Chain A
Amino acid sequence: MDQLDETIHQPVRLKIMAALKALPNREAIEFVRLRAIVDATEGNLGAHLATLEKSGYIEITKDFVGKKPRTRVAMTTSGRRAFERYVDYLRGILDGTS
């Protein structure tokens, strides 16, 4: 990778991607839990999730548990690859290869 992925590099989106990458493949996390990890407001997190979804890096599913609405977020295969490339790029800067 010779260019920085600007979509991922934004601080809140970087945290979202790091949080999702730490989960097993295709495992989803609930919106409220992700918000606690990322430490963002609901609106802010929602906006950044929309950006990542538009890029194809994450999938958002909405359903109901009983009568309570639930939003779950999972990283896509494409998002996982993009994040790995992003981390490789950062490591490359430290190694002097990027």
Chain B
Amino acid sequence: MSLSSEQASQALREVEAVSHRSSQLYQYQKFAPMLVLWGVIWLVGFAVTHFFPTRASQIWIPLDVIGIGGCIFLGRRGKQEASNNTSWRWLASTLAVVAFYIAVLTVFQPASGEQSAVLISLIVALFYFLGGLWIGSRLAVTGLALAVLTLVGYYLFPAYFLLWMAVVGGGALILAGVWLRTA
């Protein structure tokens, strides 16, 4: 059996479309539990920080360690050929975000606890949005929603901003994870 160039072109377009869809869904499946994990961490972290603001670092350092460790675990889970590449990329990405966050806070200090929270939330939102541009629209929508909700909370509900971030920010991440899971 031989194919015409039109048939070959059609088959290649089909391959391209299915590959794109498969890859996108795979990425969604990988991101979904991580979003839920960070949603829970935000929920707990921001809520506790609201009630014990002077203990922010004691609250967030262990939570961040759990989040990073959890992402590494989730990234490796289910792989038939365990690879360290993904783990190191996750770790390096997170460390780069933390380094950027600390550098910006150092340059623009003094910053309040709320301003620090806005900064890290916007950085996270930016990464989701940029990742979404490459991976899939649902991730981009998540990033955009997170950024908007963060700014709405900061400017409209300053007295309850940390609680806002716990319930609305954390809740949005959890919902986004479920949304990606159902894609």
Contacts and interface: CB of A to CB of B under 8 A. Distances in A.
Interface string B3-35: 111001101101100111111011001000000
Nearest to A19: B22
Contact of A93 (B3, B21, B23, B78): B3
A90 B21 contact: no
B80 A28 contact: yes
Contacts of A82: none
A32 B5 CA distance: 33
Size bracket, chain A contacts: 20 to 34
Contacts of A29: 22, 26
A18 B12 CA distance: 10
Interface in B117-132: none
Contacts of B78: 27-28
A37 B25 contact: yes
A49 interface: no
Nearest to B3: A93
**Interface class of chain B by DSSP:** helix
Contacts of B83: 24
Interface string B76-118: 0011110100000000000000000000000000000000000
**Interface class of chain A by DSSP:** helix
Nearest to A83: B15
B18 A6 contact: no
B2 interface: yes
B18 A18 contact: yes
B81 A19 contact: no
Contacts of B81: 25-26
29 contacts: A6-B1, A14-B15, A15-B18, A19-B19, A19-B21, A19-B22, A22-B18, A22-B20, A22-B23, A22-B26, A23-B26, A24-B79, A25-B81, A26-B79, A26-B80, A27-B80, A28-B80, A36-B25, A37-B21, A37-B22, A38-B18, A87-B12, A87-B15, A90-B8, A90-B12, A91-B8, A94-B5, A94-B9, A94-B12
Q: Which 6 A-B pairs have the closest CB atoms?
A: A93-B8, A19-B22, A22-B22, A18-B18, A22-B19, A22-B23
Interface of A: 4, 6, 9, 11, 14-15, 18-29, 33, 36-38, 74, 87, 90-91, 93-94
Given A22-B23, A33-B25, 15 more contacts: A14-B15, A14-B18, A15-B18, A18-B15, A18-B22, A19-B19, A37-B22, A87-B12, A87-B15, A90-B12, A91-B12, A93-B4, A93-B5, A93-B8, A94-B9
